[in-house]
Amino acid sequence: MQLTAIIISLSSLAASIQAAPATYGNTQTEIQLTPYVGAPPPPKNPTLSITDFSNSGKPNSAMKTISFNVKNSATGQSAKCSASKISAGFPSMHYYTKCDSNGFGFGFEWIANEKGFLFTVSQKHPGGLYITSGSTWVANKAKTQENKANPSGSYKSLDHAKDFDIRANWWSSLHQ
């Protein structure tokens, strides 16, 4: 009788240990990997190369434009991204603003408590099997493009590199 009680207790303990999620500090994290059978392998170490990046105003206008070209190093696919809006400062473009082709989109969002922008670029791959996405920080540093002949024609642009890379990650968009 006691042996049966011990065996039942041990098997109950083993079952609860096997089903328990991993614990880190005060949080619990449960990781479950389920590979999609038949899916092509995702890209390794993708980089999103940004060229001709610009976020600026226009002379004599409240219109602001963000534009850039993007190329995924893993797939070789590229797109032209551009969006405009009337704005007193540099515009935020909510994620997911579509680019012109190949499933690319972006977000350029103001983070008030950090006083800068979170720039995110993503690519939804054909067939929807996985997504490549990366983000970088853009400080809120402006430079003025002065027009000495017409002072009201001066405008501001973000003081940021025109060409840079964003290290990206990928994840599967399918669930079994």
Residues above pLDDT 90, as percent of the chain: 24
Average pLDDT over residues 127-140: 83
Local confidence band at 101 (pLDDT 50, 70, 90 cut-offs): confident
CA distance to 85, 130, 141, 157, 166, per residue, from 55 (Å)? 11, 29, 11, 6, 17
More confident residue, 121 or 27: 121
Nearest to 59 by CA among 143, 148, 150, 154: 154
For the four alpha carbons of 48, 126, 169 and 120, in that order, the dihedral sign comes to positive
pLDDT value of position 37: 54
Q: Which residues, listed in sequence order, are joined to residue 82 by a DSSP beta bridge?
A: 67
Would you state the pLDDT for residue 148?
73
pLDDT, mean of residues 39-52: 78
- pLDDT for 151: 64
Of 8 and 55, more confident: 55
Contacts of range 103-109, beta carbons closer than 8 Å, 24 or more positions apart: 104/70, 104/77, 104/79, 105/81, 106/70, 106/81, 108/55, 108/66, 108/138
pLDDT at 42 over 90: no
Residue type present at position 167: R
Let me know: does 174 contact 128? Beta carbons within 8 Å. yes
158 by DSSP, 3-state: which?
A: strand
Structure confidence by residue, pLDDT tens digits, 76-96:
899 999 998 887 777 778 888
Domains parsed from the chain with CATH numbers: 47-172 (2.40.350)
> Mean pLDDT, to the nearest integer, of 22-26?
45
**SS3 (DSSP) at 45:** coil
The set of residues, in sequence order, having a beta carbon less than 8 Å from that of 91 and lying 6+ positions away, is 55, 64, 65, 66, 83, 84, 85, 108
Higher pLDDT: 57 or 110? It is 110
SS3 4: helix
Is residue 44 scored above 80 in pLDDT? no
